[in-house]
Amino acid sequence: MLRAPHRNIRHRLSPPRLGWKERDRHGIDPRRPVQVVVLAFAISIAAGTSLLLLPMASTDGTTVLQAFFTAVSAICVTGLIVVDTPTHWSVFGQVVIMALIQVGGFGVMTLASVLTLAVSRQLGLHSRLVTTASTRGVQLGEIRGVLVRVFWTTVAVELAVTAILALRWSLGYGETPGRALWLGLFHSISAFNNAGFALFSDSLMPFTADGWIVLPIAGAFLLGGLGFPVLIELYRQHRRPRRWSPQTKLTLLATAVLIPAGTAFVLATEWANPATLGPMNVAEKTLAAFFQGVTPRTAGFNSLEIGEMNTGTWLGMDVLMLIGGGSGGTAGGIKMATVALLGFVIWSELRGDQDVTVFRRRASARNIREAVTVALLAIGAVAGSTLVVALSSPFSLDEILFEVVSAFATVGLSTGITAELSGPHQLLLCALMFLGRLGPITLGTALAMRERKQAFRYPETTMVIG
């Protein structure tokens, strides 16, 4: 008499297991969005590779590895290349690359926004997370609103930058209207999505001192790098900064610190370098240093010759690339909010504070653990990959580290050795780009969503640190 109610209670309290009927034909558990995300990106990469292998996509033929590497770099909005984009790829191939960049960037922003909305309400993810929401408060209309805002923000920024660039290339450089519009559209999409692909063999080096070219591009990738959650909150609450969330404040604080810091760093280390800033006047040096100081955290454009920079500059740019941009945007890295939160952790520990306080809010222990986990796993991936390449390639450790960090942080800057790496090493960079693009988002979501209650806790212990 007593057992039946007991079993009914357990059944009501325990989440039902998915049977084979509740899984799709690929065997994917619909309550695990990471599988869906990885599969979607993998399908996009396969489709892009197939299109780039078509004879009409290139001018002199393409190998499978070249097509695959380019597709991964484009869909992961990185910008590393093994063949010259303007000379190797035909107009059709360039259109495919641009489409992959747009799909990758929009997909990441949409995914991050939806997952952020879900995590903020402590949702469990069910079968239709990508297009709808689950059982605890998020309705389809909210997700649809998020997608619409992401779409129109993307369109507005890209069209505005396209117009500015097209006018400049047409009026200032004598390009035909059609060619100027194509250049403007391609570089606008590449910039806002933080991809770094360019239709010039030397990226933006011909326009180092042209503010009408480099400043709109910098503005586009800085906006894309802030992240959609920050952009929409700034739009809604631009007159009430006191109501900004700690996430927005952290991102803006880190941006306000890193932009002048990156500019000053490049100015200081490259001021007298005859191959970079040396021959320029003060105004040109400042503009070039600004652009080259902000692009490592977000996009892979370069207006200076990266391979001719000092090794100390490379190391500083490694740090900027690893920091990356804002959460929920098109930039890579471990994200500014993660680094800023870890900075508050260090500051609180040095002060002896019991809690980590961020703008009059106590950071949760779970958030701190997530930040530490993401940062340490990123450092481990970079260190391990650097070691593998260093043991089996003729390049210097500085060059290898720069390349590995650029791939993992989905930046796309290079000292010029990408195409010279062996096939296995290029595949390793592909894996790093894929991991760097999806890793922080999916790992952060997985950590936030899989918190489980324990019926007991072990006794506390103290260890000697340091």
| pLDDT tens-digit readout, 381-394 | 999 999 999 999 99
Contact 334, 443 (CB under 8 A): no
Both tokens of 25, joined, read 């034909």
Contacts for 87-95: CB closer than 8 Å, 24+ residues apart: 87/59, 87/201, 88/58, 88/59, 88/60, 88/62, 89/52, 89/57, 89/58, 89/59, 90/56, 90/57, 90/58, 90/59, 92/54, 92/56, 92/57, 93/52, 93/56, 93/57, 93/58, 94/186, 94/199
Q: Residue written as tokens 């692009």?
A: 295
204, pLDDT greater than 90: yes
d(C-alpha 454, C-alpha 466), whole Å: 31
Cite the DSSP H helix spans in 353-422: 365-391, 397-408
**What pLDDT is recorded for position 383?**
95
| Total of domains in the chain | 1
Tell me, yes or no, whether 8 lies in a domain.
Answer: no
Tell me, yes or no, whether 211 lies in a domain.
Answer: yes
134, pLDDT greater than 70: no
What number is the average pLDDT over the span 430-434? Answer: 92
Question: In the structure, what pLDDT confidence band is assigned to residue 135 with cuts at 50, 70 and 90?
Answer: very low
Q: Residue written as tokens 């209650």?
A: 453
| pLDDT tens-digit readout, 279-325 | 999 999 999 999 999 999 878 899 999 999 999 999 999 999 999 88
Around Cβ 393, how many Cβ atoms within 10 Å?
17
Tell me, yes or no, whether 458 lies in a domain.
Answer: no
| pLDDT tens-digit readout, 336-357 | 888 888 999 999 888 888 888 8
| pLDDT tens-digit readout, 223-257 | 888 877 788 788 777 778 888 888 888 888 889 99
d(C-alpha 183, C-alpha 151), whole Å: 22
446, pLDDT greater than 80: no
Tell me, yes or no, whether 54 lies in a domain.
Answer: yes
Start-to-end C-alpha separation, the chain: 60
Tell me, yes or no, whether 90 lies in a domain.
Answer: yes
Tell me, yes or no, whether 75 lies in a domain.
Answer: yes
* Boundaries of domain holding 291: 22-449
Tell me, yes or no, whether 455 lies in a domain.
Answer: no
| pLDDT tens-digit readout, 102-117 | 988 877 656 555 555 5
Contact 374, 338 (CB under 8 A): yes
What number is the average pLDDT over the span 357-368? Answer: 83
Contact 300, 411 (CB under 8 A): yes
| pLDDT tens-digit readout, 26-68 | 444 444 555 666 777 888 899 999 999 999 999 988 999 999 9
**What pLDDT is recorded for position 171?**
94
Question: In the structure, what pLDDT confidence band is assigned to residue 144 with cuts at 50, 70 and 90?
Answer: low
Dmax (CA) for the chain in angstroms is 92
Higher pLDDT, 129 or 270: 270
Contact 449, 119 (CB under 8 A): yes
Tell me, yes or no, whether 2 lies in a domain.
Answer: no
121, pLDDT greater than 80: no
